[in-house]
Amino acid sequence: MAGHGPAIPGFDPPPAALASPPMTAPSARLTPALPLLALLCALGGCGAPSQPLPMALAEPDVLQMRAWVPDALRRQVVVAPVKGGLETSRWWGSKVSARALQQALEDSLYTVGLKPQSPEPASRFELQAEVVQLDQPLVPVVGVSVAISVRYTLYERITGQIIYQRLLSNVSDAGFTEALLSPSERLRIANERGLQTNIQMMLREVLALRPGPAERASG
């Protein structure tokens, strides 16, 4: 039976318990972290931009308002570039961009019967919109309330005559149960709901107008 050889001075062999652990694939190490990353994002770590479709006029309102469009405004209103919108941060919150509100307005005016189907011939009127106020809670812990104000101006393009100008304000809410894990999503819902109401308020007033016959610019 062979014995151990003589010990080598200054050298201690490593115990078996300290042996290096087996290598693991990177995907195996990252997999447990994925649910945590998703949870952090859901808890408000990602921005939620407001979308045009939920801000546009709802179908029941469209069906009702189509019958109210005066002949002078039918297919005669285009939308100018919207002012005052804000882009949403990648990491937090929810804002309303000028591009999103622009699309919501154009879709609403088109479905009601105000926006023309083609750019030619030139439309008689132009609608301007500016987001003046979008007040949101700094920390939307539970439910959220958002205060919105938009200034609308409708004018005749040839003469420059303003036939409608109003600053419309309203408050909209989103409950905690509508987006349990994401304050940013609750802000988005409140934004979209508030802008849809604001657009509806504007259209009800515009459709009550009765512009006179078109005038020709002098000169």
- Confirm whether 44 is domain-assigned: no
Domain residue limits at 144: 49-206
Distance, in Å, from the CA atom of 124 to the CA atom of 217, rounded to the nearest integer, reads: 12
Rounded average pLDDT per 10-residue block, the chain, 219 residues: 51 48 46 46 70 96 96 97 92 92 98 94 97 88 91 97 98 87 89 98 97 70
- Residue 195 in any domain: the answer is yes
Residue 37 pLDDT: 43
Give yes or no for a contact between 49 and 188, defined as CB atoms under 8 angstroms apart: yes
Q: Strand pairing partners for 130?
A: 83, 151
Work out how many domains the chain is built from and give that number.
1
Residue 217: the pLDDT is 52
Which is it for the CA torsion 64, 67, 68, 74, positive or negative?
Answer: positive
CATH number at residue 201: 3.40.50.10610
Assigned domain for 215 exists: no
pLDDT score of 210? 93
- pTM exceeds cut of 0.85: no
28 lies in a domain? no
Please check whether residue 34 lies inside any domain of the structure: no
pLDDT at 16: 47
